[in-house]
Structure 1
Amino acid sequence: MMDLEERITMTLSLPAKVRIVEVGPRDGLQNEPKYLPTDQKIELVRRLAAAGLTEIEVTSFTHPKWIPNLADAEEVTRAVADLPITPFALIPNRRGLDRAMAAGAKGVTLVVSVTDAHNTANLNRTTEASVTELLELEAEARQAGLKTRVSLSVVFGCPFDGAVAPEHVAQIASRFVEAGAPRIGLCDTIGVANPAQVHALSTLMLTRFPNTEFELHLHDTRGQALANTLAGLQAGIRSFDAAVGGLGGCPYAPGATGNSATEDVVAMLHAMDVATDVDPATLLDAAALLADWRDTPLDSAAWRIARSGGAACGTPAVRATA
């Protein structure tokens, strides 16, 4: 007879390795009340690259009036061009793509909300208007040799319209799939998803569009980000966005709080023998930069453990200066 651990191991279907896309320098900083100076943004990206993260959203090419914390997008993008990473930039429209390409971005994340209410609040246009433009821009970016990701926001719930039907999400995703977009992100923008919901939508997408890579972008508003990560893994998702320190939030999504903390996601995965190529100790060095700068504590259990002198999942304790 199998013991409990053997039964659990058989129940969990875990991959040997997953990809972590670091979004802290973009999504983590965009809603912070305090401005992180440009030289420190650049140093943050360098520390994240040193930790082994190879895809990093370094900024957003949105109008500085709307996201003042990322007004130095060109400078940051150019300053990290020498790193062995793909520096992604979030772009919402034609102007954003033009700026990103001129600055030397190697990858772009194109964003659209699946509800008109949130897309209008976020981008001042309907979902259909954004989709129409982004289909053209995504193809243009790929033709120019850039890596592309399409992020579908509020797929698990909208702060204005409430629940979102999975078939509605699939219909929008299908247009990008048919156009050849290789990667599509399913974003829990305000952190309302539960594990059953994440598993169901992820399974639907992977089954219906088997040749497309789907990614999860999760927020920890209700403390379910790690549980939702595990649900995504069980469904077959192999790429996850996360933000160092658990920072994040959208200025146009009431109630949204921080992203999945990169160090927490990595700690959980490594404890389950799922490889990420990310070094936990060096990652905490990147978190230390934010902790020294921020006026409030980081939203990361791994950081709190390290700061108290403990060690998580085999990671040596680090000296936190915050």
Structure 2
Amino acid sequence: MVEYVEVAPRDGLQNEPVSLSVDQKVALIEKAIAAGARRLEVASFVRPDAVPQMAGAEDVVARLVPGAARYIGLVLNKRGAFRALATNVHEVGFVCVASDTFGMRNQRQTSEQSLSEAGDVMAIAQGVGRAAHAMIAVAWGCPFEGATSPDRVLAMAEMLAEQGSMEVGLADTIGIARPDEVESLTRRVKAVVAPIPVRVHLHDTRGMGVANAMAAIAGGASIIDAAIGGTGGCPFAPGAAGNLATEDLAYALGKGLDVDLDAVVQTAVWLNEQLSRTCSSALVRASLASAG
């Protein structure tokens, strides 16, 4: 059985032009849990003037049902970590960057600075009894610097494991990776950080989301990120189709993903209506076509 992390409430919303209210965000999380999500990124603790879609993070977490699922708060620095730890999130997630240029634009940190900050954030969280982990962004390619060196990613993964990350994440942030590249890097990282789990975050920019998820699993990843409705995207990849859709992943894995597929599809339709967007996921398009 593959574990999946539902990221629609965070990465699925943070780049959409329409900002949802706290009520809508809580409704999304509740619908995702009802459909089978058991671990979710529920908010990003960043400056609301910089990312208005993530405004009200504390209010969202305060309204979530304790024990219904595991809640992750994403942070980019120690200030965000302290905000997250003042709420009831179960885990703090941090984003490292494998590219200096992307890192400076995304969070005003070089690659090395983000790695150092990750260690500080994880130590702070672990010091108060919370789980902590880090994801390596642009692990396969950067929109500014091109292809990412696998050796660089391996070195970062090894450092994160030494710093006590509960899992090591690899993100195809702009959706540029091919399945063979995903399987190869995942397998190499798995060998370096074992027995720590490897988690993979994928974008469907080039229609490779599901294929890359299957490749990641073949390479040893046991945790896959997905977003209901295929929402989201990267501000540095114009026209990006968004995250790997939960419903597409669930259809591909069948009984290998413990979710209610019909409920996920219904939530995807609802969410895209709230965002005034056309659903990008293949499964929802097929479902709507057959219903029509």
- Please list the CA deviations of residues 23-82 of structure 1 after superposition, one character each: whole Å capped at 9, or x if unmatched: 001000001111112101100000001111110101100111211111111111111143
| 1:235-274 equivalence runs, <5 A | 235-252=219-236, 256-270=240-254, 273-274=255-256
Structure 2, gaps ≥5 residues long: none
Partner residue, 2:105: 121
Q: CA deviation at 1:250?
A: 2.6
The alignment of Structure 1 onto Structure 2 pairs a total of residues equal to 292
| 1:81-120 equivalence runs, <5 A | 81-120=65-104
- Any idea what SS the aligned residue of 2:41 has? strand
Q: Is the 8 A contact 1:108 1:148 kept in 2?
A: yes
- Please list the CA deviations of residues 280-312 of structure 1 after superposition, one character each: whole Å capped at 9, or x if unmatched: 1121232132132232211111212222345xx
| 1:141-156 equivalence runs, <5 A | 141-156=125-140
Q: CA deviation at 1:252?
A: 4.6
Structure 1, gaps ≥5 residues long: 1-16, 311-318
CA pair 131-159 structure 1, distance change in 2 beyond 3 A: same
| 1:170-209 equivalence runs, <5 A | 170-209=154-193
Structure 2 CA distance for aligned equivalents of residues 176 and 294 of structure 1: 35
Report the TM-score when normalising by structure 2.
Answer: 0.96
Q: Percent identity?
A: 38
Q: Which moved more, 1:17-26 or 1:278-287?
A: 278-287
Report the TM-score when normalising by structure 1.
Answer: 0.87
Q: CA deviation at 1:254?
A: 5.2
Amino acid corresponding to residue 34 of structure 2 in structure 1: A
- Any idea what SS the aligned residue of 1:24 has? coil
Q: CA deviation at 1:237?
A: 1.2
Between Structure 1 and Structure 2, whose CA radius of gyration is higher? 1
Q: Provide the aligned C-alpha RMSD in A.
A: 1.5
Q: Aligned to 2:287, which of 281, 306, 321? A: 306
Q: Aligned to 2:259, which of 266, 278, 291? A: 278
CA pair 257-148 structure 1, distance change in 2 beyond 3 A: farther
Structure 1 CA distance for aligned equivalents of residues 184 and 224 of structure 2: 17
Q: Is the 8 A contact 1:81 1:87 kept in 2?
A: no
- Any idea what SS the aligned residue of 1:34 has? coil
Structure 2 CA distance for aligned equivalents of residues 100 and 121 of structure 1: 23
Q: CA deviation at 1:83?
A: 5.0
Q: Does 1:19 align with 2:3?
A: yes
Q: CA deviation at 1:253?
A: 5.1
Q: CA deviation at 1:219?
A: 0.4
Partner residue, 2:14: 30
Partner residue, 1:62: 46
Structure 2 CA distance for aligned equivalents of residues 143 and 266 of structure 1: 36
Q: Is the 8 A contact 1:202 1:237 kept in 2?
A: yes
Structure 1 CA distance for aligned equivalents of residues 64 and 74 of structure 2: 16
- Please list the CA deviations of residues 240-296 of structure 1 after superposition, one character each: whole Å capped at 9, or x if unmatched: 0000000111335556440000000001100xx42x221111212321321322322
Q: Is the 8 A contact 1:195 1:227 kept in 2?
A: yes
